[in-house]
Chain A
Amino acid sequence: MDAVLLVATVVKVTVIVLAMVSLVPILTWVERRGSGIIQLRLGPNRVGPFGLFQPLADGIKFFFKEDIVPPFVHRPTYVLAPGISLCAAILALAVLPLAGSFEVAGRTIPAAIADVDAGVLLLLAASGLGVYGILVAGWSSNNKYSLMGGLRSSSQMISYELGLSLAVISVLVFCGTLRPVEIVEKQAAGLWNVVFLPVGFLVLLVAGFAETNRLPFDLPEAESELVGGYHTEYSSMKFSMFFMAEYVNMIVSAALLVTLFLGGYSVPAFIRGPLGLTGNLLAAAELLSFALKVGFFLWFFVWVRWTLPRFRFDQLMGIGWKVLVPLGFLNIAWAAFLVAVLGVTP
Chain B
Amino acid sequence: MIPLAALFPLAIALPRIAFWGLAAVAVLAALGVVLHRNPVVEALFLVVVLLAVAGIYALMHAWFLAVLQVIVYAGAIVVLVTFVIMLLNLGPEARGGPGVLTVVLGALLALGLAGLVGRAAAGFGPRAAGAAWNPQFGRVAAMGKALFGAWFWPFEVVSLALLAALVGAVVVAKRRLEE
Assess the A131–B75 pair: CB atoms within 8 A.
Answer: yes
In whole angstroms, how far apart are the Cα atoms of A151 and B68 in the complex? Answer: 24
From the candidates A7, A116, A129, name the one contacting B75 in the complex (CB within 8 A): A129
Q: Which residues from B are CB-within-8-Å of A5?
A: 11
Assess the A124–B71 pair: CB atoms within 8 A.
Answer: yes
Q: Does B70 contact A (CB under 8 A)?
A: yes
- Given A3-B5, A77-B40, A117-B63, residue A129 in contact with residue B74 (CB < 8 A): yes
- Given A118-B64, A139-B40, A139-B86, residue A6 in contact with residue B71 (CB < 8 A): no
In whole angstroms, how far apart are the Cα atoms of A116 and B14 in the complex? Answer: 19
Count contacts on A: residues with CB < 8 A to the other chain.
Answer: 33
Q: Which residues from B are CB-within-8-Å of A188?
A: none
Contact with B along A102-143 (1 / 0, CB 8 A): 000000000000001110011011001101100110110000
From the candidates B8, B41, B76, name the one contacting A128 in the complex (CB within 8 A): B76
Taking the closest CB of chain A, its distance from the CB of B48, in whole angstroms, is 11
Assess the B67–A118 pair: CB atoms within 8 A.
Answer: yes
Taking the closest CB of chain A, its distance from the CB of B110, in whole angstroms, is 28
Q: Does A1 contact B (CB under 8 A)?
A: yes
In whole angstroms, how far apart are the Cα atoms of A66 and B48 in the complex? Answer: 31
Chain A residue at smallest Cβ distance from B89: A147
In whole angstroms, how far apart are the Cα atoms of A117 and B68 in the complex? Answer: 12
In whole angstroms, how far apart are the Cα atoms of A49 and B40 in the complex? Answer: 48
Assess the B70–A129 pair: CB atoms within 8 A.
Answer: yes
Chain B residue at smallest Cβ distance from A128: B75
A–B Cβ pairs within 8 angstroms, 19 of them: A2-B8, A6-B11, A74-B40, A76-B41, A77-B40, A118-B63, A118-B67, A121-B67, A125-B75, A128-B71, A129-B70, A129-B74, A135-B83, A138-B86, A150-B86, A151-B86, A151-B87, A161-B75, A178-B140
